Amino acid sequence: MMEDALKPIYEALIEGDHRGVAAHVQAALDSGLEPEIILKDGMVAAMNEVGRLFEAGEFYVPEMLISARAMQNGLALLKPRLVQANVASAGKVVAGTVKGDLHDIGKNLVCMMLEGAAFEIIDLGSDVPAEKFVQAVKESGAQIVAMSALLTTTMPNMKETVAALEKAGLRRQVKVMVGGAPVTQAYAAEIGADGYAADASKAVAVARTLLST
């Protein structure tokens, strides 16, 4: 059974009502509910439902994005309390489209889905050189590096990034995940990546699996 205070958060999030989400999260915190419960049973549960509605063809990305932005509003209130309570996120992900490549829509959707599943995202944007991925992992202690490439001539930069992580002695501490239209499972294996996903929802499942192994 969902706590009474969580229901309006859940509903406002599915509606994409960002003001409502913030107000209800604040009310739940004021009523003494644990921030972790608000996050997992309220917000992540709602985003799972948004994901389900999307998979079922009921929602399109615009609706999903509006919910994701509403989630950001709620998270902004929760974050300081979560840090205080030492609650870990589902995982920290450094994401970006590789060097030379400006296609970023796929990567943005992957980030949005991961964020909805309570992963913490450090989005480096597009045209990201290997060194920048390395630096971001060093600075953030991320557990996953998520790379996207859409051009056949930028795919090899995924391999360069894997090599750079290796050279920096970071390869053992991070899992590498890749995707993008020309990328395949076989290519992921060839360059020594740990995971590949064909679309944004599968990316969430892959990220979860990578961190549980």
Phi and psi at 207, nearest 5°, equal -60, -40
What residues does 120 pair with on adjacent strands?
Answer: 92
Contact range with another protein by CB under 8 A, out of 28-36, 81-89, 100-108, 130-138: 100-108
174 vs 73: CA distance, rounded Å: 29
The residues, ordered by sequence, that sit 6+ positions from 12 with a Cβ below 8 Å of its Cβ are 20, 21, 24, 70
* Choice from 27, 83, 102, 205 touching another protein (CB under 8 A): 102
C-alpha distances (whole Å) from 61 to each of 19, 43, 57, 134, 200 are 20, 18, 10, 31, 11
Residue showing tokens 């790379």: 147
50 vs 63: CA distance, rounded Å: 9
* Choice from 45, 65, 87, 168 touching another protein (CB under 8 A): 65
Nearest distance in Å: CB 93, ligand B1M: 8
Q: Is 28 exposed, middle or buried (0-12, 13-18, 19+ CB in 10 A)?
A: buried
Binding pattern for the stretch 166-195 against ligand B1M, x by CB under 6 A and - elsewhere: -----------xxxxxx-------------
Nearest distance in Å: CB 28, ligand B1M: 32
Closest CA to 164 of 196, 132, 194, 210: 132
* Choice from 9, 146, 164, 210 touching ligand B1M (CB under 6 A): 146
Q: Is 60 in the site for another protein (CB under 8 A)?
A: yes
Q: Is 128 in the site for ligand B1M (CB under 6 A)?
A: no
Pick from ligand B1M, another protein, none: which does 58 bind, CB < 5 to 8 A by kind? Answer: another protein
Q: Is 103 in the site for ligand B1M (CB under 6 A)?
A: yes
Q: Is 77 in the site for another protein (CB under 8 A)?
A: no
* Choice from 9, 150, 162, 165 touching ligand B1M (CB under 6 A): 150
Q: Is 50 exposed, middle or buried (0-12, 13-18, 19+ CB in 10 A)?
A: buried
Residues that bind another protein (CB under 8 A): 57-58, 60-62, 65-66, 100, 102, 104-105, 108-109, 125, 127, 151-153, 155-157, 182, 187, 199
Residues that bind ligand B1M (CB under 6 A): 101-107, 109-110, 146-148, 150-153, 177-182, 197, 199-200, 203
